[in-house]
A and B are shown apart, each in its own frame.
Chain A
């Protein structure tokens, strides 16, 4: 994998990798991706992907109001590095 590609993915993953990290990851990811190439040896032309092994579909509950199920904003914010009233506080987005 090219270092430029590693930088692109790091951008998608929102991690500011250092140059040595990018170099190392280029090598490591290349060898891992080389290894997983062998998946192409398996004929999966008529195979459905398997995502959930329980075979459950759409588990739903009764459509009734649940009391006291909410964490509440105080508890939900208790680990926030910065907060403002009932909000997580962030910096400018644009």
Chain B
């Protein structure tokens, strides 16, 4: 087994036992990048020289008996919407080309302090607008399990990079699906944390009331371990004020697991349905109770989400004005034309679509009918969850009604693309956690993930139940066949 295919905890153990060096690890990852990167296009920026130097330094300090951070020597990648000090951060958009942040996002800062080695910045849908990875201004990222298929988005590069062994874990964000979908499509573990558990500081904002930063890993134990390092209160993100000590609590032998009946209606692929039903059967055999429940406002969730999301996007993207960031069209005579031209030339089609819809929904005369109405429906969606969590402990569902789809299949129909998020956006609307973990493969060899959803700050419970499932199945061992890409 190549070193780059080790899990974080496996690599950590070998590093601490001095069986391998951080340098070996980075070399292995870079070698894997050399093998597959021109086919999958997971990275926008690589820092090979710096990563090797940092690895050498960590090895030297470890040799000297120095006390090192919990992730010392572990190579990782950061989605290119995480600000990284002195390293170009583009949000996969043309409009931020050349942007060199003068500071690190909190997540990156915490990983740096833990000793993790940043290999590079991963590709994604521009400004995280998308569910497939096809909206990047830096090329499409392909699914390592089958290059004709999408890896899921918007954290497409992070999913593809971890799945193909280019790095041992990667950061992502989930605003409507963007960690869970790549996890599901690339056979990985990806948690959308409780909103407010992980600091959003330094992450290029998409929708501020929905954005949830997290990570993609090969397995549950890695996910739990790294989450413990990045989660917790941050004075720079006031929404994390309640995030202290939220990962060590609940434990229950036998759970009531709800299956939301609205998530299994028409439109769900039969292979996906079978995988979830088989998982339900497994949990039942493990002593948990399976119960059908109802989330009556599910069909309205996606509509509410897209109004709220696009509205907040339109507000957040107003800072891309040709004044503060490098790209600037100054051919015109006045400042107004700087705005008009820079934004026309710098934004991609999807960013424009979202800004336009959001501007409309927030404009005078329309605010109550759209944004406020959507926010009221949001409360109904959140209440649905509040109600079912009185009857059951967690929910089991798919992440997507379909398995990974082909590149090009949905990109020309924005509404079709939006509908792929119907099973993931409710958790974002309610601010609750959703965990995607490997659940099996279709007949065509494409990964399908399970989704476990719980109340706010129930991450520990989701990890426990997820681990019960993971331990008894071999899915995480089924890595993509990279020699025949």
**Per-residue contact bits, chain A 13-55, to B (CB 8 Å; 1 contact, 0 not):** 1111110010001001101110110111110100111111110
**A88 & B376 in contact (Cβ 8 Å cutoff):** no
Q: Write the chain A residue with the least CB distance to B355.
A: A13
Contact A71/B102 with A49-B372, A56-B242 known, Cβ cut-off 8 Å? yes
**Per-residue contact bits, chain A 46-86, to B (CB 8 Å; 1 contact, 0 not):** 01111111101001010000000001000110111110000
Interface residues of B in 231-249 (CB under 8 A from A): 235, 238-239, 241-242
Query: For B102, what are the chain A residues with a Cβ–Cβ distance below 8 Å?
Result: 71, 75-76, 78-79
Q: Which of A28, A75, A80 contacts B324 (CB 8 A)?
A: A80
Q: Which of B303, B324, B337, B339 contacts A39 (CB 8 A)?
A: B303
Answer whether residue B105 sits at the interface, using C-beta atoms and an 8 A cutoff.
no
- Inter-chain CA distance A92–B306, complex, in Å, is 36
**B431 & A53 in contact (Cβ 8 Å cutoff):** yes
**B195 & A53 in contact (Cβ 8 Å cutoff):** yes
- Inter-chain CA distance A6–B363, complex, in Å, is 13
**A39 & B100 in contact (Cβ 8 Å cutoff):** no
Query: Is the interface on chain A under 10, 10 to 19, 20 to 34, or 35 or more residues?
Result: 35 or more
Interface residues of B in 203-253 (CB under 8 A from A): 209, 235, 238-239, 241-242
Query: For B239, what are the chain A residues with a Cβ–Cβ distance below 8 Å?
Result: 52, 54, 56, 59
Question: Distance in Å from the Cβ of A11 to the closest Cβ of chain B?
Answer: 9
Answer whether residue B360 sits at the interface, using C-beta atoms and an 8 A cutoff.
yes
**A21 & B352 in contact (Cβ 8 Å cutoff):** yes
Q: Write the chain A residue with the least CB distance to B322.
A: A81
Question: Distance in Å from the Cβ of A57 to the closest Cβ of chain B?
Answer: 10
Question: Distance in Å from the Cβ of A52 to the closest Cβ of chain B?
Answer: 6
Stretch at the interface among B145-153, B341-349, B390-398, B458-466: B341-349
Answer whether residue B264 sits at the interface, using C-beta atoms and an 8 A cutoff.
no
**Per-residue contact bits, chain B 462-484, to A (CB 8 Å; 1 contact, 0 not):** 00000000000000000000000
Residue among A35, A36, A93 with the most chain B CB within 10 A?
A36
**B380 & A47 in contact (Cβ 8 Å cutoff):** yes
Query: For A40, what are the chain B residues with a Cβ–Cβ distance below 8 Å?
Result: 373
- Inter-chain CA distance A79–B88, complex, in Å, is 11
Question: Distance in Å from the Cβ of B236 to the closest Cβ of chain A?
Answer: 10
Answer whether residue B402 sits at the interface, using C-beta atoms and an 8 A cutoff.
no
Question: Distance in Å from the Cβ of B302 to the closest Cβ of chain A?
Answer: 8
Stretch at the interface among B17-25, B46-54, B267-275, B327-335: B327-335
Q: Write the chain B residue with the least CB distance to A81.
A: B328
- Inter-chain CA distance A10–B427, complex, in Å, is 32
**A14 & B339 in contact (Cβ 8 Å cutoff):** yes
Question: Distance in Å from the Cβ of A66 to the closest Cβ of chain B?
Answer: 9
Task: Please name 12 pairs of A and B residues whose Cβ atoms are closer than 8 Å in the assembled complex, sorted by A.
Answer: A13-B343, A28-B414, A29-B356, A39-B377, A42-B300, A44-B377, A49-B375, A53-B196, A54-B241, A75-B102, A78-B102, A79-B324
Could you tell me which A residues sit within 8 Å of B by CB distance? 6, 9-10, 12-18, 21, 25, 28-29, 31-33, 35-36, 38-42, 44, 47-54, 56, 59, 61, 71, 75-76, 78-82, 88, 90-94
Q: A42-B380, A53-B432, A94-B334 are in contact. List 13 more A-B contacts (CB 8 A).
A: A9-B363, A13-B343, A14-B339, A29-B356, A38-B299, A39-B303, A39-B304, A44-B376, A50-B382, A51-B375, A52-B209, A53-B456, A79-B99
Could you tell me which B residues sit within 8 Å of A by CB distance? 98-100, 102-103, 195-196, 209, 235, 238-239, 241-242, 297, 299-300, 303-304, 306-307, 314, 318, 321-328, 330, 332-341, 343-344, 347, 352-353, 355-357, 359-360, 363, 370, 372-380, 382, 414-415, 418, 429-432, 456
